[in-house]
Amino acid sequence: MQPLDGRTALVTGAGSGIGRACAEALAAAGAKVLVVDIDGDSAREVAGRVGGTAHVVDLAEPRQIEELPADVDIVVNNAGIQTVAPVHEFPPDRFALIQQVMLTAPFLLARRCLPHMYANRWGRLVHVSSVHGVRASPFKAAYVAAKHGIEGLSKVIALEAAPFGVTSNCVAPGYVRTPLVAGQIDDQAARHGIDPDQVVADVFLQRSAIKRLIEPSEVAALVTWLCGDEAGYLTGASLPIDGGWTAS
């Protein structure tokens, strides 16, 4: 018996990075995985590898979210994007898109999937937040706003869902070794006119006590544990996986 045998897990942004690692870890724990991503090729590749199903969906489009299966036991809200710019230059359409993908889509998915979980009196929602769900950095207005928002949404779901055996939690990583971070390293290097290695050491890991990037598999292990029966009393929480960043 595997801990998640018989469970169906929907993972957004599962074609890359943390989402891909979550799809792999949840499948290894026995879950049937719905691999949701805007990038069809990577969604199909991951689905093939984990024995799941690919769902090519743009999470910025509410109508496409309505086409996803609602009868899932686990939702991992992971898909995310980033734009780095000062507030007075931040493109408004980009700000709106980031809220749509990283906050409105998780709300719409919860709204869609909770009735099935309530009927079964079991469910798990895990939201991949960030240190930026509880801390700010300059030039990341949309991302920090969306991550603070998902922290609040998760707590409200936790309170409403508790009587039905459904939990809602955030995991809040520091910098993880993924394509999203690789892009940020290049952006910051160009912005500050410094070497990418120096960006990692001086900008990204400056506030972390553990001086290395986190591996996606480390985040996925925590997400998978939160989806198990053992984690049934943990809800409304945000678990930092940040190498001590928020301890300081």
List the one residue from 30, 39, 116, 118 that touches ligand NAD (CB under 6 A). 39
φ, ψ of residue 72 to 5 degrees: the values are: -115, 155
User: Does an H or E element contain 85, and which?
Assistant: none
Q: Which residue is nearest to ligand NAD (CB)?
A: 17
Q: Identify which of 80, 85, 90 has the alpha carbon closest to the alpha carbon of residue 146.
A: 80
> Closest separation between CB of residue 215 and ligand NAD, Å?
11
> Closest separation between CB of residue 121 and ligand NAD, Å?
29
Q: In what order do the strands lie in the sheet with 53-56?
A: 53-56, 32-37, 8-12, 74-77, 123-128, 166-173, 238-241
CA gap 103, 64 in Å, rounded: 16
User: 């001590």: which residue's tokens?
Assistant: 244
> Closest separation between CB of residue 163 and ligand NAD, Å?
29
Q: Which of residues 51-80 bind ligand NAD (CB under 6 A)?
A: 57-60, 78-80
List the one residue from 4, 7, 9, 13 that touches ligand NAD (CB under 6 A). 13
- Binding of ligand NAD by 31 (CB under 6 A): no
- Which residues are within 8 A (CB) of 159 and not within 5 positions of it... i.e. 6 or more apart? 236
> Closest separation between CB of residue 13 and ligand NAD, Å?
3
List the one residue from 130, 154, 224, 238 that touches ligand NAD (CB under 6 A). 130
Please identify every residue annotated as catalytic: 143
List the one residue from 128, 185, 200, 203 that touches ligand NAD (CB under 6 A). 128
Mapped onto helix, strand or coil, the DSSP state of residue 227 is: coil
CA gap 144, 208 in Å, rounded: 18
Residues making contact with ligand NAD (CB under 6 A): 13, 15-19, 37-39, 42, 57-60, 78-81, 101, 128, 130, 173, 175-176, 178-181
